[in-house]
Homo-oligomer: A and B are copies of this chain.
Amino acid sequence: MSNNKISIPCYKLSFLAELIGAELIGDDIEVSGISSIDFQVSNTVSILSLSSKLKLYDGDAAALIISDDIYKKQQEFGKPILKVRDSRLSVVKMLNLFYPKQDVKQSISSHSIIGEQVDIGSPVEIGHYTVIGDNTVIGDNTIIKHNTVIGNSVTIGNNCTIHSNVTIYDDVVLGDNVVLHSGAVIGADGFGFVPTGDIPIAIQQKGNVVLGDYVEIGANTCVDRATLGSTVVERGTKLAALVMVGHNTVIGKSCLVASQAGFSGSMLVGDNVLVAGQVGFSDHINIASNTVFGGQAGVNNDVKEAGMYMGSPCMPMLKYARSFAIFAKLPDLLRRVRDLENKSN
């Protein structure tokens, strides 16, 4: 475990049961932390549902948090159990208990460069070798780590965390509670060129990017600036690592987008859309709210009805699965057609 250097308080299982709405089965012992089921640490409580890949009921953990369905399958674990309905929310609450949010401390590195007319809230942390451009605004309780570059006329809200080695181009707007992971590039030029047969003519990109409140952007993810107007990621949407968002695209609220997915330009994506890894979207299409895309789906047309889609080009998931099942047996189908032909001749 990586994080056992911090002194972590102890809690009785009965206290934890109350916190997460669990039923305690077994002794009301004390535990001093939580650990992964795969890397169990003694004196801690381990959460079984975090990983299904190993069934190590008999590791070193002092107690286990287990969901109803797992408990039904195996009732004997040899240690105290906290039985819960939704183990994922239990994880959230337990992590927030054992790892309470640290206060932001006012701290601006003397090895950073702050431009002119910059409006910095309080408290704010700015790391080493970070560069902040002119006319930029930074809200309260915001942390900007090391070697990050923030352009001119950028607006950053309150309670944001900008990790190291991030780049934010000019004119970008971030709401409150935004998280940008390392290597993220927000506001690079949209990919706009007019082909000519010779050197393509570049279209200047003079719009910006707007990220709503509670948006999180994964490591090395890119959100390109609009040609004119704004590329927008709305409130509560989370993009994983190595995701691409093209220029002038608008992604709605509370979407979850897995790694290496790519949105082309001038798209309009609804709310609560779930996008699996490596999904690709064509430009200038609209995606209905509450849609779900399976991994590697290729979306080249409007999706007007919520539902689950997969395949490239994508289709409703059930339809794709039925066709693919027959695809996998095409040699058999071909043989059957040959047999029929032989019979008919």
A residues bordering B, Cβ < 8 Å?
A: 1-3, 5, 34-39, 47, 50-54, 88-89, 91-92, 95-96, 99, 111, 113, 127-129, 131, 135, 145-149, 153, 163-167, 169-173, 179, 181-183, 185, 188-189, 191, 193-204, 206-208, 214, 216, 218-220, 222, 224, 226-230, 235-236, 238, 240-242, 244, 246, 248, 254, 256, 258-260, 262, 264, 266-268, 272, 274, 276-278, 280, 282, 284, 286, 295-296, 298, 300, 312-313, 315, 319, 322-324, 326-331, 333-334, 336-337, 340-341, 343-344
Contact = CB atoms under 8 A, between A and B. Distances in A.
A6 B128 CA distance: 31
A309 to B, nearest CB: 13
Given A131-B127, A235-B199, A312 B284 contact: no
A58 to B, nearest CB: 16
21 contacts: A2-B153, A2-B230, A5-B153, A36-B227, A36-B230, A92-B194, A92-B204, A95-B203, A99-B206, A181-B185, A182-B185, A183-B183, A195-B272, A199-B235, A202-B238, A218-B222, A222-B241, A312-B312, A323-B328, A323-B329, A343-B344
How many copies, total? 3
Contact of A181 (B91, B182, B188, B315): B188
B240 A242 contact: no
Given A3-B171, A315-B328, 9 more contacts: A53-B286, A96-B204, A131-B146, A165-B185, A182-B185, A193-B256, A198-B236, A323-B328, A323-B330
A113 B95 contact: no
B312 A323 contact: no
A148 B146 CA distance: 9
A270 B330 CA distance: 31
A336 B149 CA distance: 63
Contacts of A300: 295
B331 A322 contact: yes
Which of A216, A334, A341 has the most chain B CB atoms closer than 10 A to its own CB? A334
Contacts of A230: 2, 36, 39
B330 A326 contact: yes
A300 B242 CA distance: 20
A47 B229 CA distance: 11
A275 to B, nearest CB: 12
Of all A-B residue pairs in the complex, the 10 with the closest CB atoms, nearest first, are A36-B229, A2-B208, A39-B229, A2-B171, A199-B236, A36-B228, A167-B182, A149-B164, A185-B219, A188-B219
